[in-house]
Structure 1
Amino acid sequence: MKTLCFSIASSSIGVNYSRQIEKKVRGMLNSVNANIAYDGILDSPSAENIEECLLRVVFIATGGTEKIVAATAEKSRFLILLAHKYYNSLPAAIEASSLLRRNGFKHVVKLVEPVEETVEVLEKVLRVASVVDRFRSARFGLIGGVSDWLVYSKLSPDTLREKLGSEIVEIPVEALVKEYERAGPLEDLPGVWEKAAEVHVPRHEVEKALKIYVALKSIIENYGLSGISIKCFDIIPLTGTTACLALSLLNSNGFPASCEGDLPLLVSMAMGEWISGKPVFMGNPSFIENNEVVIAHCTSPLIGRYLLHTHFETGRGVGVRVDYPVGGKVTVYRVDSDLEEVRIGVGTILAHEWSESWCRTQVRIGLSNPWMIVEEPIGNHYALLLGDHGSELEMLGKILGLKVRYM
């Protein structure tokens, strides 16, 4: 089965116009420079003979193409219908979408005006398709199991395999401790110490925390992992330090890494990091008032000015406090433990007075409905991604078979 295909749906009386569209689209496909299978201009008979495809984009050139769209659905796992404002394109998209919706077929409808916006949609679709492929072969490491207090935030290996095609690799905490003890003295602190705006821990504590980073990198290489989650509190008495800084560095480098053995959140982080190319912050919704939520944790990608502290709960090791850009757009999201829903909120980072009573990195966000986090809970961690990535996550969620809800 092909991964990504592109079709133009045309009525017989609108074929001349469709050929004009085809000239523009072929140029766009060449400019995208990707492995997209082009089906050509489809009428009803030819639509029945196309090859099967995981993700098919159908540009609805004219009206009277509803049956063509329905036929492409028979040979696709997911459809993206592109409509424009002329030649009854949108009415045809609406009618076809109504049938697909009634039949429970996964699809989305996008309006492209001018037609040249098609290339922007294609680039987004390419990113989404690459993430779907990546999940199919992903290996997520679970080091030491799931923290005892995560009574909900667990993920069945069968569910992950069935819905995303990914694998959970269980790794004993002893394997990490062995790699930690094997790591020699660190002559270079990869700029972490020097670049910190303030340091509130001794240098030797930073060195110990960085040995966890070296150990985790060895585990990642040895097991061929695509992401990791660690039962982090368990390693503190075994190593005398925390994993906060190590996870910060992994996520800073675009490698999904979550705390506390929270696998649903790890999947969420992978979705965001892979689709955007940006690092993701995971944290606890620590306080909600009006339309604002504070998300806090002791690990964060080093996306800006940062300070090195101790870990909040234990006062040991190294925790990270990162300042997030006030006024910037941000996407807050997560999947549930059954991989049935992805919840997305796009908001704005607000000014915040830092408190010693929360985890070290604290981000205050204005959202339309943050109370959904409490009133309809799906876990105590959320992922935070700089920028507005709601549409990409929505498309990815739908392709993966997740119900999309906005907050």
Structure 2
Amino acid sequence: MACFMRMLLVGFASRLHGESYYKALFRGTVEALSGFKGLEVHPSIVTEPSAIDAGGYDLVLAYLLTGGTSKLAYRVLTSAARRPVVILAHSKHNSLASALSLRSRLAEAGVKVKLLYFRDRDDLLEKFTLLYKGVAAGYGLQHLRIVEVNDQPDVSAEGKLFADKFGAEIIHVGYEELWRVAEEAGAGELRELRDAVGRYIDLSGVEEEHLDKVLRVYYALRRLTSTHKANAVVIDCFPLILKYKVTPCLAVAMLNAEGVPTACENDYYSLIPLHASLALTGHPGWVANPSGVTSDGRLRFAHCTIAPSLGRNCFLMPHFESGRGYAVACEYKAGAVLFVRVDRDINGLTVYRGTVVRSGMLEPGYCRTQLVVDTGALKPEEFIENATGNHHVFIPWSEGLTEALKHMAWWLGWRVDFRN
């Protein structure tokens, strides 16, 4: 279910700088940004106080084409509907000087504001792409439609807190409804799902009866997501394992691989970076537990639900705690990662950098996919001392990822703390 924010690009200029100059400059920028969904352009460059209608937009892009525009832009923007503002500034004609003045004025007036300075068209595209990804990730978080599966009569307290915080919509599904849908899967549907899993995971050696039961959970979550037009899933899995003698690990892994952020253990804190990973990198995140320090002094993480698109040499084996079928074991493909934890008050992100040293089903005493990470100057004991919870979400590293996370945090009004 796509949901795009609406952005209004408004150019501001002083006529002292020459109409032909700033019109050509504005036209070039409009062309450069034309590929971004949801972007609309104000029909005329603003050179004197006038009214603009920003009421239907989520974000205003105020492009200061020349100097001498900070007071003008301030008057226009504060008289319009109060929307977050990104100021665009280039390197000539005192654009940056006016942008710095405008940022200060808007911040003092209580407007959420960010300055994006660029040197040329290529620099603009690179920086604006990261801004767009980050802001779109935050916006998408506020427009999630989540299926929550639990054994309670209604949405959990954690779900209600999440909905209050972001305005997301949560659809409650009980275990009985989940299993009713699961039992509707016919032989053809199960064969289709087995083929989908087999494209990623070696299924040799699995017991067909047990695999079919696991695939029914996968089928049900897929169907429920589609029926409710949802774009995320949270499932309280341990009571499900006890009641139905089956784990949802493979279903969680496959949904994440298919681009539906899915969190196990009813963990809404992890759902946030799972969503962010897909939005910012195009790759799913992976929820993992800190599982101690290795003999060579590195952090170990482990969990049973890795999206197989993140791995290689993947196979299925019994779930760690319960011994039920099936958990996912993979070697992790990415070499560099960020791992992220959302604060308990849901007002900030703590972000760590890591290099994968080894991964896979390394030892029997842990969850089935294990990751040993070199955290550089950050000592494992320091991490353990300061960690604010168990689940951390691993995101494959890509250029500009940290900047995009900062933009997402700005949109949400969060702090972001990079620890190493």
Q: Secondary structure at the match of 1:45?
A: coil
Identity of aligned residues (%): 25
State the partner residue of 1:180: 182
For 1:150, the equivalent position in structure 2 comes to none
Q: SS where residue 41 of structure 1 aligns?
A: coil
1:299 to 305, 308, 311: 305
* Structure 1 residue 78: Cα displacement: 1.6
Is contact 1:84–1:90 with CA below 8 Å preserved after alignment? yes
Structural mapping, 1:229-378, within 5 Å: 229-287=234-292, 293-303=299-309, 304-305=311-312, 306-325=314-333, 327=335, 329-352=336-359, 354-367=362-375, 369=378, 374-378=384-388
Could you tell me how far 1:212 is from its partner in structure 2?
A: 1.1
Shift of 1:67: 2.3
Please point out which of 80, 87, 91 is paired with 1:81.
87
Flag structure 1 segments of 5+ consecutive residues without an equivalent.
Answer: 147-152
Moved more, 391-400 or 256-265: 391-400
Whether the 8 Å contact between 1:200 and 1:310 is mirrored in structure 2 is: no
Distance 1:293 1:71, change over 3 A: farther
CA positional deviation for 1:184: 3.7
Task: Name which of 400, 403, 406 aligns with 2:412.
Answer: 400
CA contact (8 A) 2:214 2:251 kept: yes
Distance 1:50 1:180, change over 3 A: closer
**1:314-369, Cα deviation, whole Å (9 max, x unpaired):** 22211111212253x32322433433213334443333582322211123344465
Q: Which amino acid aligns with 2:168?
A: S
The yes-or-no answer on 1:20 pairing with 2:1 is no
C-alpha separation in 2, matches of 1:292 and 1:92: 49
For 1:67, the equivalent position in structure 2 comes to 71
Distance 2:176 2:417 in 1: 40
Decide whether aligned partners of structure 1 residues 399 and 33 sit closer, same or farther in structure 2, where only a CA change above 3 A counts.
Answer: closer
From 54, 59, 67, the equivalent of 1:55 is: 59
How far apart are the structure 2 equivalents of 1:51 and 1:317?
54
Equivalent in 374, 380, 391 of residue 390 of structure 2: 380
| Cα distance in 2 for residues equivalent to 1:168 and 1:337 | 20
Counterparts of 1:149-168 in structure 2 under 5 Å?
A: 155=158, 157=160, 159-168=161-170
1:83 to 1:247, Cα distance in 2 relative to 1, 3 A: same
- 1:171 corresponding residue in structure 2: 173
Separation (CA, whole Å) in 2 of partners of 1:333 and 1:5: 32
Q: Distance in 1 between matches of 2:202 and 2:186?
A: 27
RMSD: 3.1
Contact kept? 1:143, 1:171, Cα under 8 Å: yes
SS in 2 for 1:250: helix
Matched position secondary structure for 1:393: helix
Query: Which ranges of structure 2 fall in alignment gaps of 5 or more residues?
Result: none
Residue 8 of structure 1 corresponds to which residue in structure 2? 11
Distance 2:125 2:63 in 1: 12
Cα distance per residue 1:155-204 (max 9 Å; x no partner): 352x4344422122222122222223333443341253475357564343
Partner of 1:36: 39
Calculate the TM-score normalised by the size of structure 1.
Answer: 0.84
> TM-score by structure 2 length?
0.82
Aligned equivalents of 2:73 and 2:297: distance in 1?
A: 41
Are 2:124 and 1:118 equivalent residues in the alignment? Answer: yes
Matched AA of 1:167: E
Amino acid at match of 1:18: Y
**For residues 274 and 352 of structure 1, do their structure 2 counterparts lie closer, same or farther at Cα, with a shift above 3 Å needed?**
closer
Q: 1:49 to 1:240 in 2, by over 3 A?
A: closer
- Describe the SS at the equivalent of 1:294: strand
Equivalent-residue separation in structure 2 for 1:285 and 1:66 (angstroms): 49
Q: 1:192 to 1:34 in 2, by over 3 A?
A: closer
Q: Which runs of 4+ in 1 moved over 6 A?
A: none
Residues 50 and 121 (structure 1), Cα distance of their counterparts in 2 relative to 1, 3 Å cut: farther
